[in-house]
Structure 1
Amino acid sequence: MRRSIRFKLASLLAALIAFTIFITWFINHTFLADYYLNFKVARIAEVFYKVQHIYEESQEELFLSEEDTLKMERLSSSFNVNIYVLMPFAGRSLSSYPKPQDFGEREELQIQLLIRNYMSGDMSQGDKTVIGENENFVIYRLYDDHLDANYIDLVGILEGSKVVFLRSNFESIQESVALSNQFLGYIGLIAVVIGIIAMLMISRKFTKPILEMAHIAKRMSELDFDAKYHVRENDEIGVLGTSLNTLSDKLQETILELKRANNELQIDIQKKTEIDEMRKEFLSNVSHELKTPISLIQGYAEGLVENVNEDEENRNFYCEVIIDEANKMNQMVKKLLTLNELEFGSNQVNFERFDIVQLINSVLWSTEILFKQKQVTLHFDEKEPIYVWADEYLIEQVVTNYINNALNHVDGKKIIEIKLIPRDNVLRVAVFNTGNRIPDDELDKIWVKFYKVDKARTRKYGGSGIGLSIVKAIMNSHNKECGVVNHSKGVEFWFELDMT
């Protein structure tokens, strides 16, 4: 209990109330009587200056006008001060204010006697103490034992030898101060008790949401982010609760991001492993692909050196084999370099508008001799231009690879058909050849570098297994699709481009 915020708040409030009451009691006991006396002195001095101002502004020699008399009465009433102004006249003192007819004879004689005693410096009459003075007036504190009363009296001189006498009641405040302090002590004790009880009850309103948030924070530490604080008010507790909810959401989001990052890291590690495997496989494939032509070149070159066949025709055949195998290696290296540029983004894609029909006709014209040699029937009837957006040079490589691939695998009726199929704003270019179908389980593998469905046949026409990988890389660089479809009498390869 002593460690709780409620107990600390209640103790702090009790100490604060007790300290405040003690300070109030001390100030009352020490300074209140003097403050009251100084206040009365300041007030009576202010009345003197106001009376002086009224007489300076007055046009009358003896008595004040009705207007000035009214001002004096208001001044006396407002400041609770009795005002008397006497002036010398015909060898005796005459009351200027109040007027003689408003002034009782006995009262006038008493006032004149008091003034004479003050001005003569006779301090034997009653308990008199000078408490303030300047060149215009002297202020006295007087205790009248006959009336058992205290007064603050001011005696001053105005212009024209007029004498001002001001009197204000000054009751002793010491007894009042003592009574006030005693009462303050009782009230303070009651206030401390009530304050402790009230704070214990009120503080529960503040500690309850704090305990609730502490429970939520504990659940958050256990990675349970479903618990949320219900904000009831827009005060500091409400702001703290909102911040706690925000922190919970941020932590949940951060942990999810960390999990996603961890999964991505695992995927990256897996990809790195796969890349290492691919690199090893690539080196193995390249070594394998180069082994056969290098062996042939080496064998025929050694035959030439050793003059295995001395006739001119055989030597020319050896040279042709060496040149042919060297060309195959050169083509394979060029394709590998092209594929590397495409896969690593170093080959810039330059989009332009061009006629795909004209491009296909250009490739067909360059391969026309191959169609005739293999006695292949071509079906391509498009005559009207169709414009697309793409890199013309790269798309020409795609079309060339598809047509060469069809020529290398065409069989049966030996028909190659090129179709242009528009779909909304996309054009599909399809190259079909009759012949053997690709096994379904190998359809996705043919895009992989060095993969060959029929290795013997591929070797026969000099294929390297890189052409379709280049096609895939080119279409990826265009963010477009390409694919292959088996038909009953052959195989169809396709790719898509945006039409203009």
Structure 2
Amino acid sequence: MKLYWDCMSGKLLLKRRQKESGPKKPAQKGHRIRFTSLRYELTLLFFVLMAGTIVVLVLMNNFFLGRYYISQRRRTLEQTYILMNEAAENGTLGSDDFDVTMSKICSSDNLSCIVVGEDSKKVLSYAADETQMFRRVYDNIFGVTQELPDNYSDSDDTAIGSNNRYYIVQTSTTPFGQREQIILDRMTNSRFMELWGQLSDNSYCLIHTPLESIQNETKIANRFIFYVGISAILIGLAVSMYLGKRITRPIHELSDLAKRMQQLDFSARYEGDDLDEVGTLGKSMNEMSTTLETTISELKTANNELKRDLEQKEKKEQMQQEFISNVTHELKTPIALIQGYAEGLQDGMADDPESRDLYTGVIVDEAGKMNKMVQQLLSLMHLEFGEVEVDFERFNVVELISDYLKSAGKLADEKNIQIRKPQEEPIYVWSDPFMVQEVFQNYFTNAVNHCESEGAGEKVIDIRFEEKDNCVRISVFNTGKPIPEESIDRIWDKFYKVDKARTRAYGGSGVGLSIVKAVMELLHQDYGVINDDNGVTFWFELETKALDSSDIKKE
């Protein structure tokens, strides 16, 4: 429900708020003004109720107080008559007990009573002015009291032609047959009500009670109600403003809480400790805020995971496309060679054993190169897709490299390359031995294939171990030409070849250094290449200290 002020009719209206639909229309002149503050709505509603109550009381006084007063006085007269009639029947009309009872009734209800016997003598009297009471008894017996003219006015009594003192204003008959009258006393300009009739012992009874000026009493009562009402309204307004502030304070807090929740700020909490419905609502909103925060956090986490999965999927698809494209490109030459020499054999171009050995040798050599390249590409693809698990353990890297050189040293011997490895003391590292050997193998194979002598100098491959804080740097140096500066950053890319003819000659695929890059990034270790004056140095680093909990968690 909402309060509205109708500017056209000048009335305050209480209407049920309907659900709004569609765009809001701007306020126009003559339209209802809506009060949006609950605090002021409560205050205004209290004011309207109090003012309405005062108006109703005043109207009730004006229209019903006089009638109610007359009916009450009439009822008092009838009850007194019944009591006196019962005493007359019982013969206790003049007893002391009855006298005490009547004295109390006449005193409390402001009554005057007189009983006159059939012999016109007084039986009993409870009146200050017995003369006037006797006169009224005889006036009623003989019916000499006239009715008051309709055009009579208290301020102008010229409508009365006679000089009589008493006039009948209103008359009626009781259920017991007695006559009730409202009489005007012109001498005192006052009115009184009387009931007269015969008792069961045939005596005449007259009961008289003055009627106060009900108009004056009504005015006094209305004035009193007005003053009391104004005071009550002022006090009530102050109390309602205070209570309205007290009631709306938690509502404002809940409103601010809802606005912050709307802005996805779930740190706000309702701090009230009320046990009423507002407090229950605040606790429910706190629980809802916590639930929403948890749900949105879970949704964000799921969204990030989904985004990461999509990016990973796109990356894999792109890598697969690159893989297919690169493999197709790299296999084109060996397949062409194999096809050409196979067709030569098929056409009988190699009749002698020496030619057949040449043709079959080329086919086997190219097939071996293809197999090696495919194996390297598959290994690289597994590394880049994160499908390889790292098994960390502590081992002697010097021993691992020495064992590898025992079997791979023949490659260097065939090319008259001198291998230098001054380090003999063990160096223990934390890493994956298989992956470390894969990196060193690619560095060493690369050094063997590119090792050259300068002038009359020797061809040398120098393997060095440089211990640092918590790590060791392993370097593979080979004499020969340095790598062009524009190719330094690209040698780690798949299938990139600085000297394509030379790489083709020794059966390289351009994938080895890409494998090194993938392995070292999986191990989260540094690697690189340095151009020296007389050759090139490739290096990588390994941890020599035990991994802490944060490192293990990261891995």
Q: Give the TM interval when normalised to the shorter protein.
A: 0.5 to 0.7
- Structure 1 counterpart of 2:471, from 412, 422, 426: 426
Query: Is 1:4 the counterpart of 2:35 in the alignment?
Result: yes
- Counterparts of 1:92-111 in structure 2, within 5 Å, are none
Does residue 17 (structure 1) correspond to residue 50 (structure 2)? The answer is yes
Match of 1:138 in 2: none
Partner of 1:371: 412
Say yes or no: does 1:457 pair with 2:502.
yes
Q: Are residues 1:145 and 2:190 paired?
A: no
DSSP 3-state at the match of 2:391: coil
8 Å contact from structure 2 (residues 463, 474) kept in 1: yes
- Flag structure 2 segments of 5+ consecutive residues without an equivalent: 6-32, 66-90, 112-213, 268-292, 546-555
Q: Distance in 2 between matches of 1:427 and 1:415?
A: 22
Residue deviations 1:290-320 (CA, integer Å, cap 9, x gap)? 1111111112122222221211111112111
Structure 2 equivalent of residue 61 of structure 1: none
Larger relative helix fraction: 1
Match of 1:250 in 2: 265
Find the partner of 1:468 among 513, 525, 532. 513
TM-score for both structures, normalised by structure 1:
0.57
CA distance in 1, matches of 2:403, 2:245: 87
- The AA in structure 1 aligned to 2:34 is R
Q: CA deviation at 1:185?
A: 4.3
CA distance in 2, matches of 1:147, 1:244: 69
Deviation track 1:179-213 (CA, whole Å, cap 9, x = no partner) reads 888634432145436766x699989999xxx9xxx
Q: What is the aligned partner in structure 2 of residue 390 from structure 1?
A: 431
Contact 1:9–1:199 (8 Å) recurs in 2: no
Q: Give how far 1:15 is off.
A: 2.6
Does the C-alpha gap of structure 1 residues 486 and 274 become closer, same or farther in structure 2, counting only changes over 3 Å? Answer: farther
The Cα offsets for residues 422-441 of structure 1, whole Å up to 9 and x where unpaired, read as 22111111111122222223
Aligned match for 1:284, one of 306, 325, 343: 325
Q: Distance in 2 between matches of 1:491 and 1:344?
A: 30
Larger displacement relative to structure 2 (7-16 or 478-487): 7-16
Q: Which amino acid aligns with 2:383?
A: L
By how many angstroms is 1:329 displaced? 0.8
Cα distance change of structure 1 residues 20 and 350 upon mapping to structure 2, 3 Å threshold:
farther
Q: CA deviation at 1:10?
A: 3.9
- Structure 1 unaligned runs (5+)? 31-116, 129-141, 151-174, 211-233
Deviation of 1:398 (Å): 0.8
Q: What is the number of equivalent residue pairs in this alignment?
A: 345
**2: distance between equivalents of 1:305 and 1:122?**
163
Structure-2 separation of matches of 1:181 and 1:421? 110
Q: What displacement does 1:355 show?
A: 0.8
Identify the match of residue 237 of structure 1 among 240, 252, 267: 252
Measured after TM superposition, the shift of residue 146 of structure 1 is 5.5
Deviation of the 1:391 alpha carbon: 1.3
Relative distance call for 1:279 and 1:147 in structure 2 (3 A) is closer
Distance 1:185 1:315, change over 3 A: same
Quick one: distance in 1 between partners of 2:331 and 2:36?
Answer: 83
Question: What displacement does 1:276 show?
Answer: 5.9
Q: CA deviation at 1:272?
A: 7.6
1:192 maps to what in 2? 233
Matched, 1:357 2:398: yes
Q: State the distance in 1 between where 2:356 and 2:435 align.
A: 40
Shift of residue 241, structure 1, vs aligned partner: 3.9
Task: Kindly indicate whether residue 357 of structure 2 is the aligned counterpart of residue 327 of structure 1.
Answer: no
Which residue does the alignment assign to 2:445?
Answer: 404
**Percent same amino acid at aligned positions?**
43
**Equivalent position amino acid for 2:543 in 1:** D
Partner of 1:415: 460
Aligned to 1:442: 487
Q: Alpha carbons of 1:17 and 1:379: their partners in 2 closer, same or farther (altered >3 Å)?
A: farther
Opposite residue 489 of structure 1, the aligned amino acid is N
Structure-2-length-normalised TM-score: 0.52
2:358 to 317, 323, 345: 317
Q: Cα 1:357–1:441, aligned 2, differ >3 Å: closer, same or farther?
A: same
**Letter matched to residue 319 of structure 1:** T
Distance 1:439 1:261 in 2: 46
Instruction: Please state if 1:497 is matched with 2:530.
Output: no
Paired residue secondary structure (1:447): coil
Q: Given that residues 436 and 489 in structure 1 are in contact (C-alpha distance below 8 angstroms), is that contact kept between their aligned partners in structure 2? A: yes
CA change 1:406–1:146 in 2 (3 A) is closer
1:4 CA displacement: 2.7
Larger RCO (CA within 8 A; separation ≥ 6): 1
Alignment of 1:341 with 2:386, yes or no, is no
Partner AA of 1:3 in structure 2: R
